[in-house]
Structure 1
Amino acid sequence: MSEGPKEITNNGIKINILAAKSTEMEITSKQGFLPLGIEKAGDFGDIGMGVLSDGTPYLNQRGLAVLCGVENAHIGSISAQWNEPELKPRIKKIKGILEEAGVHFGVAHAEIVHAGKVHFCYPAEVCLAILEYYAFDAGANVQDQARRNFRLLAGSKLKDMIYSQVGYDPTGADRFKKWHDRISLNYQSAPRGFFHVFNEAHTIIYELIVAGAEIGEKTVVDISIGQHWGRFWTDNELEKEFGARAKYPHNYPDSHPQAKSNPQESWCYPLAALGAYREWLQDDYIEGGKFAGYLDGKVKKGDLAPSVAQLAIATLTPAQLPGK
């Protein structure tokens, strides 16, 4: 992890060292339409921060108040007044700053339940607009701390700091690592003339990663697919049609606790059954509700954000053509 701020203290309330610049994430049209989760979060001194499941970096209410040099209640009142019919002058000013930056937020913050606690998450763009207001436009309420911190955090620096502190790669490259590690161990492990479910699950795994899922030791969707396909295979006596299935050694990377029992015996199936498997995967597993059931279980356990589940299902389930 690149080095972020050394400290944020109440003594001057300023950030002393900034993180190196990294690639920025774009705010997408999905934001505001799908329920978001928290992918990364942490408290650094008095500053709570994190990254939402769509890649949006945020500060919590207390952290934003500390940066601005004001009480929590002042930040809370900004949220409460955000959509009043007659906007207060400070809300007009803050929204005007956001409009100049080309962004719009229907609310000032998102309330997200994470680890059994409600988090008040203020997107980085909103934080900077509020910080700028208290730095230069608040009249008698202008704060020296806000001015110092705004000079340090303007532009993309606040985003970069949050990404660095919580250990989040906004390019998404590290999300593929554990999956790639499994591929490198298993892509040639099935015997000639057979296929295994892991290699055939790549499209689903890829779409989950793109949607924001952390694929690793907790989310191993190919196990779910393999269990359901195995039952379908035996229940329908497909061995009579395609020939006997076999076992092959499947290995997990050292980063997975499952690696302690490597190699693990897994089923592989005759290539003659590959077409039937792919039809089953689309018609039964994905569109038949089994995939949604698997994701719902992960959401309930807190391993997956609801937005990730919904986006993956929407991507993998084709739109139905209207009847003629």
Structure 2
Amino acid sequence: MNKIKDLPAALASLGPGPVQAELFHVEKQIEIDGVEMGVLENGVPYLTESGLARMCGIDRKVLNRLAINWPDEKLKERGRSINEMLETSGYFESNLYLKSELNGSEVNAYTEPVCMAMLEYYAFVTKEPRAEAIKAFRRLARETFRALIYTAVGYSPEQRMLDSWRHFHDRVDMTATSVPLGYFSVFREIAAMIVPMIRAGILISDRVVPDISVGKAWSEHWKASGFEEKHGARRKYDHEYPLYYPQSKSNPQPSFAYPDSALGEFRAWLAQTYITSKFPTYLIGQTKRGTVPVSVATKAIEAFSDKALPAPK
């Protein structure tokens, strides 16, 4: 079964945003005119609880109570109005915020659909419209939520894309001389997978390291297929991460290099087995951890059609 064809449906079942499985990490957060805002590591812009409350012209405690008790609150008059606006924008999450982390402290990150629904409610729906909410909503009618926060915090999606290429190329360069002659490394050989991922918008970083997933799966396939008898023993070599990776603290990392005679076996397995049946599981895991947005994961799948990555002959 080609599981990759079923991935869009599997990702859709996760909802319109990342699934909360652990704390999301904050890339950058600042405060402007008393409004805290930032961008998560996966590129999602947000307002903090105090930031959104200030924009809405309400006390932070009011917003906090609403969010904590959301399952009950959305059945009441105020909550029903806000929930209708959320569902209109395609937001069906069970929580109003994403639990995130900045320098060891938890941050309640309110993303665009929630912020816009809250602002619209306090600007135009409530019996006592807030001037702050009206002003903020009108401003966001002129600029998009994402553009406003990206500009404010100095976040550049283009720079993150360049950083992804840097992460990839720096690791390729570091394996160029460390792999024994006559052998290949998994990381250098999965460029056919990583390059389309970067182009699709998946940010390759120290937290998104697909070669670990590929390496483990290939090692199991190597042993199960008895390839050592056919191609000879694999050899360990010292793989080193760039110094800006947290993993570099334990350099060198012992990794396996495989005989060049098995390269065709690896490429066929990567295209016919890993990409089609194991990569979807990897992507879904990344969306659950919040490192890859569902929309980006869905887009990435388009890069792995039979036409984009033909099986080696």
TM-score when normalising by structure 2: 0.60
Report the counterpart of residue 59 of structure 1 in structure 2. Answer: 47
Shift of 1:182: 1.2
Aligned CA distance change for structure 1 residues 310 and 146 (closer, same or farther; 3 Å)? closer
Are residue 181 (structure 1) and residue 170 (structure 2) matched? yes
Trace 1:190-205 onto structure 2 (pairs within 5 A): 190-191=179-180, 193-205=182-194
For residues 5-16 of structure 1, what are the structure 2 equivalents within 5 Å? Answer: none
Map of 2:219 onto structure 1: 230
How far residue 200 of structure 1 moved from its aligned partner, in angstroms, is 1.3
* CA deviations over 1:56-90 (Å, ceiling 9, x no partner): 42324542221131345489889999999xx99x9
Conserved in 2, the CA contact under 8 Å of 1:68 and 1:134? yes
Q: Note if contact 1:211-1:312 (Cα within 8 Å) is conserved in structure 2.
A: yes
Residue of structure 2 aligned with 1:279, choices 268, 272, 278: 268
**Of residues 157, 176, 186 in structure 2, which corresponds to 1:170?**
157
Paired residue for 1:69? 57
Deviation at 1:180, TM superposition (A): 2.7
Q: Secondary structure of the residue that 1:141 maps to in structure 2?
A: coil
Letter in 2 for 1:169: S
Seen in structure 2, the aligned counterparts of structure 1 residues 265 and 146 have a Cα distance that, compared at 3 Å, is: closer
CA positional deviation for 1:198: 0.6
What is the CA–CA distance in structure 2 between the aligned matches of 1:132 and 1:234, rounded to whole Å?
59
Q: Which amino acid aligns with 2:267?
A: R
Assess if the C-alpha contact under 8 Å between 2:197 and 2:303 holds in 1.
no
Structure exhibiting the larger radius of gyration computed from Cα positions: 1
Structure 1 stretches lacking a partner, 5+ long: 1-28, 320-324
Percent of aligned pairs with the same amino acid: 32
- Give, in whole Å, the separation in 1 of the partners of 2:221 and 2:208: 22
Q: Which residue of 2 aligns with 1:40?
A: 26
1:217-266 superposed Cα distances (whole Å, 9 cap, x missing partner): 34433234334433433454424423454455533211123434555553
1:100-249 to structure 2, matched below 5 A, reads 104-106=89-91, 110-114=96-100, 122-124=110-112, 127=115, 131=119, 141-146=128-133, 149=136, 155-156=142-143, 158-163=145-150, 168-171=155-158, 172-173=160-161, 174-187=163-176, 189-191=178-180, 193-206=182-195, 209=198, 214-249=203-238
Write the letter of the residue equivalent to 2:263.
L
Using CA pairs under 8 Å that are at least 6 residues apart, name the structure with larger relative contact order, 1 or 2.
2
Which consecutive residues of structure 2, in runs of 5 or more, have no partner in the other structure? 1-10, 307-313
- SS of residue paired to 2:244: coil
More displaced, 241-250 or 252-261?
A: 241-250
Q: Aligned partners of 1:223, 1:165: CA distance in 2, in Å?
A: 36
Paired residue secondary structure (2:47): strand
Q: How many residues align?
A: 280
What TM-score results when the alignment is normalised by the length of structure 1?
0.58
TM-superposed CA distance for 1:275, in Å, is 1.5
SS of match in other structure, 1:272:
helix
Contact 2:100 2:109 (C-alpha < 8 Å) held by counterparts = no
Quote the offset at 1:177 in angstroms: 3.0
Instruction: Give the C-alpha shift of residue 190 in structure 1.
Output: 3.6
Q: Which has the higher helix share?
A: 2
Distance of aligned partners of 1:170 and 1:299 in 2 relative to their CA distance in 1, 3 Å threshold: closer
Preserved contact between residue 36 and residue 54 of structure 1 (Cα < 8 Å): no
